[in-house]
Amino acid sequence: MKIFKAEQIRAIDAATIKLESVSSIDLMERAAGKLFDWISANVPITKTVLVFAGQGNNGGDALVVARLMLKSGYNITTFIVESGKSCSNEFSVNLSRLSETGSRTISLSEISALPEIESDAVIIDGIFGSGLSRPPSGIFAEVIRKINTSGAMVISIDMPSGLSCDGIIPTDPETIVKADITLSFQFPKLAFMFEEYCRYAGDWLILDIGLLPDAIENENTPYKYITANEVAPLIKQRNRFDHKGIFGHALIVAGSYGKAGAAILACKAALHTGAGLVTCHSPAECVIPLQCSIPETMVSPDQAKDHITSFPDLSAYNAIGVGPGIGTNPDTRRVLAGILTSFRKPLVIDADALNILSMDTEMFSLIPENSVLTPHPGEFARLTGKKETGLASLKSQVEFAGRHKCIVLVKGAYTSIAMPDGRVFFNSTGNPGMATAGSGDVLTGMITSLIAQGYTPGDAAITGAYIHGLAGDIASQQCSMQALVAGDIVKNIGRAYMKIALDAV
């Protein structure tokens, strides 16, 4: 699913109007109908509903919703937030239609005209839409502050008013509506992908308003939101006469004294994701825990007991994942450099291997092309030497991936995957219960397994992130987010594969 900038969405709207021979007012009626369907199914008719409309097209949407809700018997009061500027034509038409219903409509040019908002009311926010280009001020800012302090439930139309579609931070965060639910038209918005912006959107849902598929297809964007429809075609199907040699041999370089668990989780995940063979190179003291926990994994014991000091012949392996629990001992740092130099196929680099790279940035030049780096935000900040958030961090991620010709997967609520060519994929699966020790080790094993099976590194990163998050979602339904541990993710990889086949349209 594509993620567009505001001007691209306007272009798709215009193409839909032109090529479908539908008027803009009728397209607005269609979109508002989808809003009404959701609101009427989720807001009790006994609730007092306050509709806030600006004088642009987002306000026009709000007026249509108000009219439809009035006809259905809701107790509606509509507030028109006036800027003193001209209204859009669509707004004017819908205001006239609303007036014909005998609705309570109050014009707000001064905040004193706004009565006290009861905390048990429901607010529908249609003040600004996705095309906002500057922070709200004047009466708009005052109304937004009143909404935010009311304690009422807030449903925003398309975007929380005051929030830029493209992730531009306003000068005053208090002038952004803090929605409980945002009903986004047709596409997710880039701002939803970042913590500092998404907190204004609350829970957001996408409403398909029937924009022209060809117009969507022809509009280019580097940003995509990964759903089952994107992942299902990537998953390789198995044939009756296939054997384990076809599904690759993965090497996991992981573990140190006290951290055998990281190696165990990565190897289990690699096996459950489908690798034909998995070998773990780990310190000697990790051998017994590994072989007792996962007899399906072969073990290559390091000559040292407590940390990694060497690596085996790499020619037998189709893919290598390195980093979980290995520590940053000088011996281990030399091992990583040796692997980077010797294995010129794409690697999966995680955890302590990333920390080693950040300690010696000259090693960046050794990273094989199309390798997959899987940092969490802290590890990525150490790699770049910058502590950034939101759009700035995404730009650094894209720049790093392009400069070093690698794939950079930054873990988070909407894990972002930057490709060397500038494309970025945001993952739609996962939940806060996955913020637990070992979750990243599981992902390392999964992506390594997929590359071993012949997936391109880019497809492996996308597929691995999606299945990882989906397995976590299934696990959270079984045991709660609070009780979820990394092993629960591994146990549900198989169920995630099956659910993707069911969910894809």
Largest CA distance in the chain: 85
- Which structure tokens are listed for 41? 């199914």
- Which structure tokens are listed for 65? 């919703």
Helix (H) or strand (E) run with residue 311 in it:
none
Tell me the C-alpha distance between 143 and 82, whole Å.
Answer: 11
Sign of torsion over alpha carbons 114, 116, 122, 123: positive
pLDDT at res. 83? 79
Enumerate helices (H) and strands (E) in the chain, giving the number of each.
18, 18
Tell me the C-alpha distance between 124 and 50, whole Å.
Answer: 6
Given pLDDT bands bounded at 50, 70 and 90, which one contains residue 253? very high
Strand partners, 252: 280, 321
Query: pLDDT tens-digit profile of 95-135?
Result: 999 999 888 999 999 999 999 999 999 999 999 988 787 88
For residue 298, how many other CB atoms are within 10 A of its CB? 16
Q: Is it the case that residue 268 has pLDDT exceeding 70?
A: yes
Q: Position 473: which residue type?
A: D
Tell me the C-alpha distance between 326 and 331, whole Å.
Answer: 11
Query: pLDDT tens-digit profile of 432-483?
Result: 999 999 999 999 999 999 999 999 999 999 999 999 999 999 999 999 999 9
Given pLDDT bands bounded at 50, 70 and 90, which one contains residue 170? low
Q: Is it the case that residue 150 has pLDDT exceeding 80?
A: yes
Q: Is it the case that residue 174 has pLDDT exceeding 70?
A: yes
Q: Is it the case that residue 34 has pLDDT exceeding 70?
A: yes
Q: Where are the beta strands (DSSP E) in 236-366?
A: 249-253, 277-282, 298-301, 319-322, 347-349
Strand partners, 427: 226
Query: pLDDT tens-digit profile of 43-65?
Result: 999 999 999 999 999 999 999 99
Report domain extents, the chain: 2-221, 230-503
Candidates 3.40.1190.20, 3.40.640.10, 3.30.390.10, 3.30.540.10; CATH matching 230-503: 3.40.1190.20
Q: Is it the case that residue 85 has pLDDT exceeding 90?
A: no
Given pLDDT bands bounded at 50, 70 and 90, which one contains residue 146? very high
Given pLDDT bands bounded at 50, 70 and 90, which one contains residue 504? confident
pLDDT at res. 505? 67
Q: Work out the average pLDDT over 311-336.
A: 98
Tell me the C-alpha distance between 342 and 451, whole Å.
Answer: 18
pLDDT at res. 364? 97
Question: Rg (Cα) of the chain, in Å, rounded?
Answer: 26
Given pLDDT bands bounded at 50, 70 and 90, which one contains residue 169? low
Tell me the C-alpha distance between 268 and 446, whole Å.
Answer: 9
CA nearest neighbour of 236 among 496, 417, 453:
453
Q: Is it the case that residue 171 has pLDDT exceeding 70?
A: no
Sheet arrangement for strand 122-126: 104-108, 75-81, 48-53, 122-126, 153-157, 181-185, 203-207
| The CATH fold of domain 2-221 | Rossmann fold (3.40.50)
Query: pLDDT tens-digit profile of 190-205?
Result: 999 998 888 899 999 9
